[in-house]
Structure 1
């Protein structure tokens, strides 16, 4: 929970009273590797902060599921579109490693918005971070080669990238595992 407090302190000032209200609503949840946090067809009920672990977002498909995002330690994670609209998700979120998150329910977040001075700032910060991540992903798909996307992912999280199966990385950067193997061979 201290990681969240430190994360907030870097972005804005939070009073002890507001932190007490906010932190009282958080619940710690631990997931084993390969656990579905959110399944397509279900409504996302939580905004979570990853204390440790890696998760992937993917569109399920019998023949060729598509990984479209990863989330690492010290970031917010959520099926945010489903969370906001209260509509079923069209994708899954799955842990790739044992993962610990601190979660806040939709209803508790609404309560924090109403009862604290900092609530809207917290919500805005989480929203901004998730939006920036989404925008960066979209721009990378439009402006970068697969090799550049791989190198960026490698630069951002080199120690964690080793924990992600290559087939998921290949799907994420929009190529086959064989093409990823050629890229890795070329740059090594």
Structure 2
């Protein structure tokens, strides 16, 4: 599989790309590798790039009272960065960290805006992804309030069954809003 195939497939499912659009994507999104535990964005840094995950697991987290709070766990295919800071070009309050080795495609904010200026189909794709992101975050907030910890864990496992093999349990616990000990108890109950 070529470096940009997953990204182009995701895009093409939402909008019909022309060959010119595909060429723009190939030249604008640069392949990079993120080593396990490497940081793509640090606290206080203005995020330069938006990343598309071809392979690997990446998380977004913030420090709250000295404790890491994971807000996003992303796996392929997906986009990741410190979104609010990337959009507004202000220092990030979040870290973006590779949990495993990750093969990524990176695009700078300026290049992204240039893509939008050059192609109405890529602009439409950006709008659709933005809307999906807003809907996902609203749903996530509702689930954190309305589902039990066990339901949130089972839902995550159902949607991303390979997450257990690739993401440390303390990050999964943080992502679903519980302590690692509580997740261990839930996992024991599910197994028995």
Could you say which TM-score interval applies, normalised by the shorter chain?
A: over 0.9
1:70-89 equivalent positions in 2, closer than 5 A: 70-89=73-92
1:40-119 equivalent positions in 2, closer than 5 A: 40-61=43-64, 63-119=66-122
- Cα separation, 2, equivalents of 1:38 and 1:26: 17
- Cα separation, 2, equivalents of 1:135 and 1:28: 31
- Cα separation, 1, equivalents of 2:78 and 2:132: 8
Cα distance, 1:160 vs. partner?
2.7
> Any idea what the Cα deviations from partners look like across 1:30-59, whole Å, max 9, x if unmatched?
011001111111111212110000011111
Q: Is the 8 A contact 1:57 1:93 kept in 2?
A: yes
1:139-150 equivalent positions in 2, closer than 5 A: 139-150=142-153
Q: Secondary structure at the match of 2:97?
A: strand
Change (3 A) 1:9 1:121: same
TM-score by length of 2: 0.92
Query: Structure 1 unaligned runs (5+)?
Result: none
Matched with 1:137 is: 140
Find the partner of 1:36 among 15, 39, 42: 39
CA RMSD, Structure 1 to Structure 2 (Å): 1.4
Cα distance, 1:68 vs. partner?
1.6
Matched with 2:28 is: 25
- Cα separation, 2, equivalents of 1:54 and 1:179: 23
How many residues in Structure 1 have an aligned counterpart in Structure 2? Answer: 188
Q: Is the 8 A contact 2:51 2:105 kept in 1?
A: yes
Matched with 1:179 is: 182
Find the partner of 1:4 among 4, 7, 15: 7
Change (3 A) 1:53 1:41: same
Q: Is the 8 A contact 1:48 1:101 kept in 2?
A: yes
- Cα separation, 2, equivalents of 1:145 and 1:36: 31
Where does structure 1 differ by over 6 angstroms across 4 or more consecutive aligned residues? none
